[in-house]
């Protein structure tokens, strides 16, 4: 159980300065963006040749994983089922943390912002907001055999429809999926950050199925725990992009990095598209559709709980009420001492993080021109509840088993004409201790160019 810290001096902890390597954060990047070089167009014959090689490569990877069964969900996702012990050297999985949900009603509060009554307009929504679940949690018929865990299959058909500059080397196929990137010139952000040594973070993400995204772009709502130069990070939340679900619908995702933007097995990448993620839950896995939980303008709202936490040397990720899996302490997933070295370095996030982000992000493939890919719900932040997307009840784990609310700092955006933010707001209600709104329509917005 994570206990809520009873006493807190906001001025002291939030006075911690950012490390030099993070002095210019994602949200502080200037809105100007470097021109993009258009990919060389492949001939139809070359495109088909590369496509065939990619399909062959992915099929071999699936066979190597030891798939024992395959199912399909109602939304159309294909799920492969594997033996959980096959993912780690030695066959022994790490033990998950216990129930770490904060027990809000027992809080002791000393920050006046957190003693403010919840606005009347939000009181009813506290009771009515729905909680997102996965299709496998609700539909036992789509589950695999007892004793197996799910791996959501990459949707090559939808990916091929959007991506035409296929790589010559099929092992580089997943590098074509735009990664979440805490600092880049072709991104838009709306972010609340905290700097200082931490062991994790948790909160809730309001889920929307946005319009788009355009082409191979991404629309993301996520958290990230970060440290080191080159950057090391664990990232988790909701993403919409080609290849993750039919019609680019919203899915739960994880991403890790050990060496900045480098990708590959035991280096970095999404979900289980590369080696690194260890799947534990039989019903919650990265890549799973959230399509059944899309919020509606002026109607039903849904949120997904997300937690990233360092526990006994492993970085665990929780979503939809379950510990989904973890990024292990050791390369290969075996128990320490780590014969192949640790996945993360001592200068990175092996022992702690020193930066937390909660943010909306859009990858703009048309940079420096603005994109029409929506962030959040596609509405600007100042339209507030029922129209704009939001994050709420954001916390940081300041000791291995103790958490506290984000209760200081400001929200930053890269270009408020395209995508805006409003907040943070605070109250004494345990369901809405803190929250902020974010989002926008991109180049359809007035002044976005």
Quote the pLDDT of residue 362: 95
3-state helix, strand, coil in the chain (%, to 5): 20, 30, 50
Quote the pLDDT of residue 61: 86
Quote the pLDDT of residue 23: 32
Q: What is the mean pLDDT of each run of 10 residues along the chain (449 residues)?
A: 35 30 36 53 92 92 90 95 96 86 42 72 75 95 97 91 88 86 80 95 95 87 97 97 86 97 94 96 96 90 96 96 97 95 98 97 90 95 95 91 86 95 92 93 91
Quote the pLDDT of residue 400: 78
Strand-pairing partners, residue 187, are 363
3-state DSSP assignment of residue 2 = coil
- The kind and range of the H/E element at 204 are strand 200-206
Q: Is the torsion defined by CA of 72, 75, 76, 82 positive or negative?
A: negative
Quote the pLDDT of residue 431: 82
Sorted by where each begins, the domain ranges of the chain are 43-444
Quote the pLDDT of residue 30: 36
Angle at 132 between CA 130 and CA 137, to 5 degrees: 125
């Amino acid at each position: 159980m994570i206990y809520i810290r009873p006493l807190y001096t906001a001025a002291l902890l939030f006075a911690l300065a950012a490390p030099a390597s993070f002095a210019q954060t994602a949200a502080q990047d200037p809105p100007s963006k470097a021109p993009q070089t258009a990919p060389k167009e492949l001939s139809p014959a070359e495109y088909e040749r590369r496509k065939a090689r990619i399909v062959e490569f992915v099929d071999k990877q699936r066979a190597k994983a030891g798939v024992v069964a395959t199912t399909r969900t109602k939304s159309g996702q294909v799920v492969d089922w594997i033996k959980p012990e096959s993912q780690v050297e030695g066959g022994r999985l790490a033990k998950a943390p216990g129930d770490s949900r904060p027990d809000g009603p027992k809080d002791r509060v000393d920050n006046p912002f957190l003693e403010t009554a919840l606005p009347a307009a939000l009181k009813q929504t506290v009771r009515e907001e729905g909680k997102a679940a996965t299709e496998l949690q609700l539909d036992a018929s789509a589950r695999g055999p007892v004793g197996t865990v799910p791996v959501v299959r990459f949707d090559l058909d939808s990916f091929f429809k959007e991506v035409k500059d296929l790589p010559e080397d099929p092992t580089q196929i997943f590098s074509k999926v735009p990664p979440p990137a805490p600092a880049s010139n072709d991104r838009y952000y709306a972010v609340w950050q905290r700097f200082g040594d931490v062991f994790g973070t948790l909160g809730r993400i309001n889920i929307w199925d946005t319009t788009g995204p355009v082409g191979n772009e991404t629309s993301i709502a996520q958290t990230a725990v970060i440290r080191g130069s080159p950057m090391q990070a664990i990232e988790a939340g909701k993403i919409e992009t080609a290849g993750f679900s039919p019609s680019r619908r919203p899915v739960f995702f994880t991403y890790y990095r050990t060496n900045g933007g480098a990708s590959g097995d035991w280096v970095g990448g999404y979900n289980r598209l590369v080696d690194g993620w260890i799947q534990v839950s039989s019903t919650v896995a990265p890549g799973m559709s959230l399509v059944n939980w899309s919020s509606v303008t002026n109607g039903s709202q849904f949120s997904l709980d997300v937690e990233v936490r360092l526990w006994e040397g492993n970085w665990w990720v929780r979503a939809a009420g379950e510990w989904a899996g973890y990024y292990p302490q050791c390369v290969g997933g075996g128990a320490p001492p780590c014969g192949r070295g640790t996945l993360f370095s001592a200068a990175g996030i092996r022992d702690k993080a020193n930066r937390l982000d909660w943010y909306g992000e859009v990858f703009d493939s048309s940079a420096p021109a603005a994109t029409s890919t929506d962030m959040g719900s596609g509405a600007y932040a100042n339209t507030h509840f029922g129209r704009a997307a939001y994050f709420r009840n954001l916390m940081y784990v300041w000791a291995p088993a103790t958490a506290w609310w984000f209760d200081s700092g400001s929200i930053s955006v890269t270009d408020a004409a395209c995508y805006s933010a409003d907040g943070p707001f605070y109250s004494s209600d345990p369901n809405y201790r803190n929250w902020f709104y974010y989002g926008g329509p991109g180049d359809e917005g007035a002044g976005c160019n």
